[in-house]
Structure 1
Amino acid sequence: MPALADDAEPATAPAESTPPAAAAPADQADQADALPSPQTAVIDSATITGLDALLERIADRRVVFVGESHDAYEDHLNQLAIIQGLHQRGKAVGIGMEFFQQPFQPYLDAYVAGELDEAELLRQTEYFERWRFDYRLYRPILRYAREHGLPLVALNIEREITEKVGDGGIDALTEAERARIPAEIDRDDVHYRGRIKAVFDMHPKDDDAAFERFLDVQLLWDEGMAERAADWLQGNPDKTLVVLAGVGHVEYGHGIPSRVTRRVDVPAVTVVSGAGRPFDPAMADFVLYPSQVDLPRTGLLGVMLETEPDGEGLGVQAFAETSGAKDAGVKQGDRIVRVGDSPIASYADIRIALMDSRPGQRLPVEIRRQSLLGGTELLRFEVELH
């Protein structure tokens, strides 16, 4: 029988033939040293806390910036919780809001004072024309302010100015329009410029002049809101201001926060939602990770309406693929004059009339239709919302 050693290697090689485990070729060691570091941030889960602990840590700040994703209901519920928590701790709180523009401040004051109802507030501030996000996202905040008499502060510069600057730059503004923008605009923050350039580059490329106009608009938004917030803080030295704005205006402190504290020396803190974003400790003083909360879906008529009213009601220009209005008998060219109990004279009226409706609900809809014999006739349909 042949000896095993003559036909096969031993199951285990001699110890002296195996290189020491710690010894690696020099070129491999060099390659390991050259590998990039992932710059890993480690969160100690034992220190993760809730909103009550957050409120204790921010209650001594004069201005609290809370960044939002505009369409995330959970972000707005957290904003409300912060406002409530500060107010319940005895703080005199004002609420600064990106989503209302400065010329409409008197209507916010009237709403808080109880002189204007919610529907009229939305009409007078042109909310649906100027912001358009579902008002129900913000409604609990505004209703809490009204119930407790908390000042609402319109922060944003009016759209007419920013649109004009976007088209032609600041030089395109008239003397009267220039008086409406901040006299001091800081263009020297390279980190801010880099972030804005990254956003600009996500869109179809254009020339350098277009980027400079784009940057000017962002600066007008941030400097304009910061100036308005700083003026309010100086005029209300015994109050705390909670600023509600898009996360891009708050994160890293380059947008509104640094421009407020440049104008007025007050203790400040930034809070943003980290949902859907890579974690970065520099993003804000506090980063929140809420669970998603969805609003109930609003019922829809399934029509496309004219954007500029021309006569009584709103004209039907076309229908959605699924349209309860079309199924009920509404035709292209009809003018919707009433939905439920609400007369319709503007786009805002339609949004207000349907705000708390639900798919499957049936609503009476009145329309005016051109008669074949001349003149118009008033017709009423029962429409199932989709």
Structure 2
Amino acid sequence: MIQPSASGALARPQTLYESRLTDADSGTQLTTETLAQRLSGTDVIIIGEYHGHQAAHLLQSQIQAALFEKQPFQVLSMEQFNLDHQAAVDAYLNGETGETEMIEDSHAWDNYRASYRPLMEFARQHSLPVIAANAPADIVRCVGRTGPDYLDGLTAGHRAQLPDNPFMDTPAYREKFNDAINTSHGAADETMQERLDNTYKAQLLRDNTMASRILAALNAHPGHQVIHTTGTFHSEEHLGTVALLRQRAPEISIAVISPVVWPADVEKAPLQENRNKGDFLYFIQPLPEEFLDKQRERKAMSARFRRPVQETCEGDTP
């Protein structure tokens, strides 16, 4: 672990594995041990990530271990597993299956071994619960395609897995979502607007489900601290899952830790313009650009979404 500089000034991360953890208000650089001391009494700690950025995943693992030293009654909650695969996660934690079996049975993300294995193994070694927090992928996909009424066709059992009021919202999150996809609030094309609305409802279903699962974990494990890993869009600026947690349970304490990219051509850490992203920030190097050829990028995006488009949403989710 790299220690803060003597001057207290933030030093640029030197590798793609490094991060600089800071207090968002003061700009003071922190160690994971200091962070854990400050957060030992917090109910829910949400660590945002840029998916696939190894500095984020390394820091998540370090924070998990540091928090455990201060508060060993811990639950790990993960966006990266869907709730309909909870049994597969539990079977692995209970020693009933091997890792590859768990990966196959839970439809784990492709980068599980490189990015999330350390979190899961720490929980398994210390007999800690792991919560598959996300909504079922098929249901999310069909809400995004056909709209929120899709839930009306689910069996009672499938619907019961999802939270009450699954599309609870906040205006600021909708505005952020619109900005992210470069659209306006008053799109002229009604068909396109409907598609965007459905996509947003699918996003809300994920966030509401994760909030509900975190609260269920707190209720099932009194006195435990929940660490939740998620894409930063779901938690930064205290929106998304965080805002919904506060709406559903205003009495709980929540801390948000968010990543901030420190561009190579920027001399000082971009702290001021990013203070609102979380209670704590960690600065990381930017990842290499995936594509310079825009035509190849469009082809790759088309291929990525081709399979979901071909899948049907008729009938109930299996």
TM-score, normalised via structure 1 length: 0.60
8 Å Cα contact 1:74/1:292 also seen in 2: no
For 2:201, the equivalent position in structure 1 comes to 216
2:228 maps to 1:228:
no
Deviations 1:39-83 (A, max 9, x none): xxx9876x3222222111111101100001111111111111111
Deviations 1:64-107 (A, max 9, x none): 00001111111111111111011112431110000111011112
2:274 maps to 1:268:
no
Shift of 1:276: 4.8
1:190/1:276 Cα in 2 relative to 1: closer, same or farther (>3 Å)? farther
> Greater Rg, structure 1 or structure 2?
1
Higher share of residues assigned strand = 1
Higher share of residues assigned helix = 2
CA distance in 2, matches of 1:214, 1:43: 34
For 1:242, the equivalent position in structure 2 comes to 227
SS at match of 2:111: coil
CA distance in 2, matches of 1:88, 1:49: 17
1:56 to 37, 46, 52: 37
For 2:57, the equivalent position in structure 1 comes to 76
CA RMSD of aligned residues (A): 2.7
Shift of 1:275: 1.9
Deviations 1:254-286 (A, max 9, x none): 111121232232111000111258642111000
Structure 2 unaligned regions, length at least 5: 1-23, 264-269, 289-306, 308-318
CA distance in 2, matches of 1:43, 1:255: 21
1:181 to 158, 162, 167: 162
1:248-327 aligned within 5 A: 248-264=233-249, 265-276=251-262, 279-290=273-284
CA distance in 2, matches of 1:53, 1:142: 23
1:148 to 106, 126, 135: 126
1:329-340 aligned within 5 A: none
1:196/1:148 Cα in 2 relative to 1: closer, same or farther (>3 Å)? same
TM-score, normalised via structure 2 length: 0.72
CA distance in 2, matches of 1:202, 1:233: 37
2:104 maps to 1:123:
yes
Deviations 1:17-57 (A, max 9, x none): xxxxxxxxxxxxxxxxxxxxxxxxx9876x32222221111
1:59 maps to amino acid? S
Runs of 4+ aligned residues of structure 1 deviating over 6 Å after TM superposition are 42-45
Structure 1 unaligned regions, length at least 5: 1-41, 295-307, 309-386
Deviations 1:298-354 (A, max 9, x none): xxxxxxxxxx9xxxxxxxxxxxxxxxxxxxxxxxxxxxxxxxxxxxxxxxxxxxxxx
For 1:158, the equivalent position in structure 2 comes to 136
1:191-206 aligned within 5 A: 191-201=172-182
SS at match of 2:223: coil
2:43 maps to amino acid? R
SS at match of 1:67: strand
2:86 to 105, 108, 131: 105
